[in-house]
Structure 1
Amino acid sequence: MRTTRTAITALMGALIVTSAGQALTAGTASAAEPECPAVTGSWEAVDLGVAGEALDINDRGQIAGWKKGAAGESQAVLWDKGQVTEIGALGGRDSRATAVDEDGRVAGYGTTADGKTHGFVWHNGQTQDMGSLGGYAALPKDISLGVVVGEFRVLDAGRTRRGQAFVVKKGEKRDLELTGGSEAEDVNKAGQVAGTHRRTEGVGLPAEKLTHRAFLWKDGTVKDLGTLGGDWSQARGLNERGQVVGESALSENGVLQAGFVWSAESGMRRIEDGEGLARPTAINNDGVIIGTHSCRIAYDTAYPSVWTDPAKAPARLPDPAGGVAITANAINSKGEIVGMAIHPGNQPHAVLWKPKSAK
C-alpha cells in the first residue's frame, strides 16, 4: 500500500491538481517567537540522483514518483534497487506516479494525446489506462493490494469543478457517494479509505466558511472524524492500524489550525507543534508521523519533519548535500521517508531519508 503520502502536487504541464489545503495559519499565537526544532541525527538524506520528486515508498524500498524530462515535462518513474524505470505517459506530454503497493503495482495519472487526464496502473512493464472514470479527469492517489483510490473531477450545473472520491477494485469503479466534493487519499489492506468530503466551498472562500471534514470509509460505511474545535478538517494519511493524520481548524473562524492524529480508541488528538504549524502527511504502522512544520509566527518557511511521538515536538529532517529539503511525502514500516529538495537553479531533486539504525 502507499503507507502514507502527501496531497498530489502540480505536474509540470497541463495536468489538473488537487487542493493542498486552504488555511495557512497555525495554532495559538505567542508573544515570544517559538524555537525551531533541531535537525534530527537519526535519519540521513540520500539524493536519488533524479531531478524530480519521490511521492511514495513501499516496504520493499520501491519508490514511486516523477522526474523532469529534457523538455521540462514530468515523467512517471519507479526506483527499485538503484534502477530508475520510466513508466511513460498515456500518449500525452506529462505523467506522474503517485503510489506503489507491496506487489510493485504503481498508480498514477497522465495526459493523453488529446490533452485529457487519465488514471493508470502499471505493473511489470504493462500499463492499464483507467480512463477518466466518468469525469473530465481521474487522479489516483493510492493503491493497496491492487485496489486504487483517488478522485475524479466533474463539472456541476454551475460549471464549478468538483472532485468525487472513488475506489476501483478488480477493474470495477465504485463512487463513494459522499457529501459534496470529496477526495480519497489513502487505502490500507483492510479496505479502509481515508479522505475528505463536504468540500463544497469555492476557491478562495474565507476560512470561516469552510466546512469540509475528514472521513474514514469501509464497505459503504462513512465515519466522520470530527475536528479539533473548528468547522473543518482534512485527512492526509492512513496506516494499517486505521490511524489517520491530517489538519483541522481549532476555532469557529476556521483560521487557526493544527495537525492531528485520529484513532478509533482515542479520537482526534492535536499533534505537538510548539505554537507553530504542523501539517502531517503520513503515518506508518509504528505511529511515526511525517509532514512539514513551520516554527515561526510568520510561517514563511516549512521544514520536512518527523514526529516519533505525537505528544512531543517534531525533529527537522536533514537537507541533502547541495540542496534544501521542502517536502516529506511518505514513510514505510522501516522508517524510510521520501520527498523532495530544491537545488540551485530551482531544480527539484528526489530524496530518500534512511534511518541510521538501518545500516
Structure 2
Amino acid sequence: MAIVGGQAHARPGVSGHYADGTPLLSWETSENAMILSAFLCLAAIPQAYRVADLDRDASALGGVAWRVHDSGQVAGSALAIGAPDWQGVIYSAAGTQFLPNLPGDEVGSAYDVNAAGTAVGESDDVVPIGHQLRIYPHAVVWIQGQVTPLTSLISGGDPIEPLNAYAINDRGQILGYGRYAAGSFLRTFLLENGIVTDLDDLHPGPDGGSSPGAMNERGQVVGTSDGPLFFRHAFLWENGVMEDLHDPAILLGRVSSAWDINDRGQIVGGGDYGADFLDYEVATLWDNGAILNLGLLAGNESWARGINDHGLIVGGALNGSFENVAVMWQDGALVDLNTRIPAGSGWHLLIANDVDNSGRIIGEGSYLGALRPFVLIPECDGAFQVYGAGCAGGGGYTPYLTGSGCPEPGGIVSLALTLGAAGQSGLLLAGIGTGVHSIAPGCDLQILPLLDRRAPLGLDSAGSALLRLRLPAGLAPGIYNLQAALRDPGASSGATVSNPLRVDVR
C-alpha cells in the first residue's frame, strides 16, 4: 500500500503477529517502514467543486446554513413554502427536516447538529408593540426532531437565563449565551450533565459580556468578549480559564473575534491589524500561539468562519466592487469560491460558514435572486469513508481519523488524526479487508489482512497529527483501509485505536 510505502502485499493470517514474528502492534518500526512526511497544512488539497442547493426537495422559499457535521447533516433555517415565518431545519441527503418552534413562538433557527442528529438553536416569540416588534428568544434543543426548552435540561450551576443554544458536540456538551437578569450583559455558558457554567469575560470590571463562536470535541470554546475599554476581543476558554487572544503587538487595532476551532486546536476569526480606529477586521488564524493574517481580496475586510481538521479555512470577503463573496484559503492564498464553480450556474456565493473533514463547504448564496443554502461538493467526494468505530482512550476521547483530497496515483491526500493522547506515539496501519483483531475488550483493529508496511505516528500537544502525502504514480487502483493504533497511558490496555478509514484509490 503506497501510503505506507513499498508494494501492496498482504500478510497471511490474523494471529496477532506478522509472518516475520513481529507483534501486530509492536511500537518498533521495521527498517523498511516509510516515515510519513508530516507538516502543518494550512491549505486545501486543490480540487474543483460542483454546487448544489442544500434544500434538495425545494420545500423552502429561502434558507441559510450554519454548521455541517461529518455525518452530512447541516443545521440552518428556512422559510417553508406557505409558512408565515422562518424555522430551524436540518438539511441532509434525506431532504429538509423542518424543526418545530416552542408553542406560542413564531420564528426559529438551528445553529448546530451533532452525530446523533440532536440540534440546538433558538425559538423566538415575536411580539408587536406599536410600530415595532420585540423579540423574546428561548434556547432550545431538538431531540429526534422534537423541540425542548433548554431550561428543561438544567439541574444546577450558574443561574443564567439561556437565550440561545449555539453549538453542540458529539459528547453532548451545549454552548450558548444568556443573561442573569433582563437588560444585563450577555454571558457565554456551557451546559454539561445538567450544570450551567458561566465562562466569564475579559473585561476587568463587573459589567463585561461575551458571546460564543464555536466548541470542539474536547470542549474548548472560542468566541468574543468585552475586553478593556469594552472593545471586543477574541477568546479561548478551556479548563475553566478564558484567555485573551488579542495580542496588541500584532493586532494593532482595537477589535478581534473568534468564530471556529477545530479538534487540532486551530482557531479562526478576524482581527484588526491597523491602528486607525476604523475597526475593520481581516481574517485571522491562531495556531499554537502564532497569529497569522490571512489577507484580503480587493476590499478592506475578510472573515474566517470555519476550519476543518485538515486546516481548510472558509469564510467571506469584500471584493473590488465591495460585494460579499464566499472564500477559502488555499496554499496561503485567498480564493473567491465563485471562481471554483462552473460558469453559468446561476449562483453567486456570498459567504461560506463551515467545512467538514471531507472538504464539503456550506454557506449562503444568491440563486436566481433568492437567498439559498448551498453546498460545494469536491470532485473527489466519497473517496474517503469513515466506517466502524475506534475505542475510547484516556478522558473518554476516541481517536478520529479522516481523509481529504483525491487518492489517485500521483495525487496528494491529507490525513488528519485527532483526539489522541497528547505527545504519544503510534502506528498508521494499512489493510485490504475488514477482518477484526481484538487488542483489548471492545478495542479492535478492523482492517485485516494487513499490508506489510506500517508507519510511525507522533502526536502533538493537542493529541493530533496531520499528514500530507503524494501517492506513488504506480499505485494500483483499488480499495485500501487505514487505521491508527496509538499509545494511551490513560486507557486500561495502554493503547487505543482510531476508526477505520476506507480509501478508494481511483
Both proteins in one fold, TM over 0.5: yes
* Residue 302 (structure 1) aligns with: 324
The structural deviation recorded for 1:63 is 1.1
Tell me which structure has the larger Cα radius of gyration.
2
State how far apart, in whole Å, the 1-side matches of 2:97 and 2:354 are. 19
d(CA) in 2 for partners of 1:226, 1:117: 30
Deviates more, 1:42-51 or 1:284-293: 42-51
Give 2:359's match in structure 1, choosing from 323, 335, 355. 335
The correspondence for 2:177, drawn from 151, 160, 168, is 151
In 1, the alpha carbon distance for the partners of 2:123 and 2:240 equals 29
Alpha-carbon spacing, 1:324–1:104, altered in 2? closer, same or farther (3 Å)? same
1:182/1:199 contact within 8 Å kept: no
Asked whether the equivalents of residues 95 and 109 of structure 1 are also in contact (C-alpha less than 8 Å), the reply is: yes
Q: State how 1:238-249 maps to structure 2 within 5 Å.
A: 238-249=261-272
Which residue is equivalent to 1:4? none
The yes-or-no answer on 1:195 pairing with 2:207 is: no
Per the alignment, residue 46 of structure 1 pairs with: 52
Q: d(CA) in 2 for partners of 1:60 and 1:263?
A: 26
Instruction: Report the AA paired with residue 188 of structure 1.
Output: N
Does the residue aligned with 2:270 lie in a helix, a strand or coil?
strand
Deviation at 1:275, TM superposition (A): 5.6
2:138 maps to which of 104, 118, 131: 118
Instruction: Report how many aligned residue pairs link the two structures.
Output: 304
- Trace 1:54-93 onto structure 2 (pairs within 5 A): 54-69=65-80, 70-91=82-103, 92-93=105-106
Q: Secondary structure at the match of 1:287?
A: coil
Distance 1:43 1:316 in 2: 9
Q: Does 1:358 align with 2:358?
A: no
Alignment of 1:1-359 (within 5 A): 42-49=48-55, 50=60, 51-69=62-80, 70-91=82-103, 92-112=105-125, 116-131=136-151, 138-144=163-169, 145-153=171-179, 159=183, 162-179=185-202, 180-198=208-226, 211-227=231-247, 228-255=251-278, 256-264=280-288, 266-274=289-297, 276=299, 277-296=301-320, 300-309=322-331, 311-317=332-338, 318=341, 321-344=345-368, 346-358=369-381
List per-residue Cα deviations over 1:248-274 (Å, max 9, x = no partner): 11123332432110012x421100325
User: What is the Cα-based RMSD across aligned positions, in Å?
Assistant: 2.6
CA contact (8 A) 1:210 1:232 kept: no
- 8 A contact 2:54–2:92 mirrored in 1: no
- Between 1:81-90 and 1:129-138, the stretch displaced more is 129-138
**Deviation at residue 131 of structure 1 after TM alignment:** 4.0
Unaligned runs of 5+ in 2: 1-45, 128-134, 203-207, 383-506
> Could you tell me how far apart the structure 2 residues matched to 1:154 and 1:303 are?
38
Secondary structure of 2:188's counterpart equals: strand
Q: Distance in 2 between matches of 1:136 and 1:223?
A: 24
Quickly say closer, same or farther: Cα 1:71–1:153, change in 2 above 3 A.
farther
Structure 2 Cα separation of the partners of residues 275 and 252 of structure 1: 20
Rounded Cα–Cα distance in structure 1 between residues aligned with 2:336 and 2:47: 9
**Is residue 197–residue 213 contact of structure 1 (8 Å, CA) maintained in 2?**
yes
Deviation at 1:85, TM superposition (A): 1.6
Q: Tell whether the 8 Å contact from 2:188 to 2:211 is kept in structure 1 after alignment.
A: yes
Q: Which has the higher contact order (CA 8 A, sep 6+)?
A: 1
SS of residue in 2 equivalent to 1:116 = strand
- Contact 2:281 2:303 survives alignment (8 Å): no
Secondary structure of 1:162's aligned partner: coil
Distance 2:192 2:179 in 1: 19
What does residue 14 of structure 1 align with? none
One-letter amino acid matched to 1:230: G
- Residue identity matched to 2:68: I
CA distance in 1, matches of 2:376, 2:185: 35
Shift of 1:140: 1.7
Per-residue displacement from partner, 1:127-152 (whole Å, max 9, x unpaired)? Answer: 32114995666122211121111211
Using the TM superposition, give the Cα deviation of residue 301 of structure 1 relative to its aligned residue in structure 2, in angstroms. Answer: 0.5
1:218 deviates by 0.8
Paired with 1:195 and 1:172, the residues of 2 have a C-alpha distance of 20
SS at match of 2:334: coil
Q: Residue 25 of structure 1 aligns with which residue?
A: none
Q: TM-score with structure 1 length normalisation?
A: 0.77
Deviation at 1:341, TM superposition (A): 1.7
Per-residue CA deviation, residues 29-52 of structure 1 (Å, 9 max, x unaligned), is xxxxxxxxxxx9622110123421
Question: How far apart in 1 are the matches of 2:319 and 2:98?
Answer: 38
Whole-angstrom distance in 1 between the partners of 2:318 and 2:149: 39
Deviation, structure 1 residue 155: 6.1
Letter in 2 for 1:83: G
For 1:166 and 1:241, locate their aligned partners in 2 and report how far apart those are by CA, in whole Å. Answer: 22
Shift of 1:113: 8.5
* Residues 138-180 of structure 1: per-residue CA shift (max 9 Å, x gap): 1222111211112114667xx5x63211111122211112231
Q: 1:333 & 1:146 partners in 2: Cα distance?
A: 20
CA shift in 2, pair 1:249/1:113, >3 Å: closer
Is the Cα contact below 8 Å between 1:89 and 1:112 reproduced in 2? no
The one-letter code of the counterpart of 2:241 is: T
- Give the deviation of 1:211 after TM superposition: 2.0
